[in-house]
Structure 1
């Protein structure tokens, strides 16, 4: 029996060229965040606790901007992700507002379809995402004039047309992607430069992290979102938060 194990994705090493780009990128990020805060006081950063969102969180806190930071606890998070919530509170001395799914709805879904329903069809997986992510986000953004995400164009095919500013038609508010044009190396360079708190799953081969049942490590060289809903077509790999 072969004992071969594929090499997993690793956190990219920061090259000198990435460090040289960082001051310009950081200045642009600060300018974008200051513009958002000026136009939309009390805008909301919906943090997934991914490295991209942690970069934006770091910048918001450094600039002391009036941007609220929220996160979603789906009830299906890895322990490492839960630990990052506490680490973020401690590092930045700020309370992330944590939104949970409606317990009765989550329980009813599992009782009706089973705990593994997300693997049975895209429809059931998206219904689970709606209960655990979209409905809580809707509550979090109910009074927000605008919201921010950590999405980047190079993350996946479904995000290749991202712009800095969009209109969230469903909610009738502005939506911003402050690092939409950053490359993966840029994100890790910033995180290293500022010692940003990170999810320990990154050190275990997870370049993109969601709920525990729907996320797995990826092989070196694979798309960084290959471990999200890996049993589905790449064209369906969104939970609906950014639809």
Structure 2
């Protein structure tokens, strides 16, 4: 499928009100509470999302793997997959992105920051990520996504509870007050091993860095290999009291 520089919903339609969207979230969670012994599977959550947000759904993908786009596109073919093109990605990540765009029935959307890397260097000085990674993430990830998400009613993420303490209580479906839309996490209950098993079973593209000591992949300057026994996100922003870029906090 083709890559485009700015996100637009594949099937534009009038966006429902906040009250209407919150009611959909409440209904899902009420059904979940009524049967706490059964947590819906990733497929069930994806099918639910495709039904309720036909044409107004986006998938956010870091291209660590193509599992999430694969799961969602089975129920929502042509779905917009948002890739935050920071300008600092590993070459492996860009290769993965291009393969995903070619192999899966999705619409790849490259979400761009306002400043190029060169423009940012000129304005803030070279290697801002070494001096103020929070500001760098804000400009190259958080703000571009915040400008894009209002085009949709719901976004789907690959956040998993096993990724670290900050993600341990991730719900399947919630209201994202920060961005003003529904947030859906179909893979929340999965382990890293389950993710890899799904990728193997369905022959889904996986970033080569995952098998090279990088269980969590971000921008190249801010990501290092993780030692055995370390938190999966320990390799992100090493040396800083920071484990999140701000997209999910």
TM-score by length of 1: 0.80
Q: 2:106 aligns with which of 84, 90, 94?
A: 94
Query: In the alignment, which residue of structure 2 is the partner of 1:40?
Result: 53
Q: Compute the RMSD of aligned alpha carbons.
A: 1.9
Q: CA deviation at 1:129?
A: 0.5
Q: Within 2, Cα distance between the matches of 1:219 and 1:238?
A: 19
Q: Within 2, Cα distance between the matches of 1:225 and 1:145?
A: 29
What are the superposed Cα offsets for residues 197-226 of structure 1, whole Å, 9 maximum, x if unpaired? 111112322111000100111112221111
Assess, with a 3 A threshold, how the Cα gap between structure 1 residues 78 and 72 changes in structure 2: closer, same or farther: same
- Structure 2 gaps of 5+ residues are 1-37
Q: CA deviation at 1:135?
A: 1.7
Q: Within 2, Cα distance between the matches of 1:95 and 1:65?
A: 9
Please give the secondary structure, in 1, of the residue aligned with 2:45: helix
What are the superposed Cα offsets for residues 109-168 of structure 1, whole Å, 9 maximum, x if unpaired? 422443323223xxx211110111112212321210011110011101111111111211
2:88 paired with 1:69: no
Q: CA deviation at 1:38?
A: 1.5
TM-score by length of 2: 0.78
2:123 paired with 1:115: no
Q: CA deviation at 1:108?
A: 4.5
Contact 2:223 2:236 in 1 (8 A): yes
Query: In the alignment, which residue of structure 1 is the partner of 2:238?
Result: 230
Contact 1:37 1:67 in 2 (8 A): no
Q: 1:125 aligns with which of 100, 116, 133?
A: 133
Please give the secondary structure, in 1, of the residue aligned with 2:248: coil
Deviates more, 1:200-209 or 1:62-71: 62-71
Q: 2:163 aligns with which of 145, 155, 163?
A: 155
Q: Within 1, Cα distance between the matches of 2:229 and 2:213?
A: 12
Q: Looking at both structures, which has the greater relative contact order when contacts are Cα pairs under 8 Å and sequence separation is at least 6? A: 1
Query: In the alignment, which residue of structure 1 is the partner of 2:248?
Result: 242
**Aligned residue pairs, count:** 210
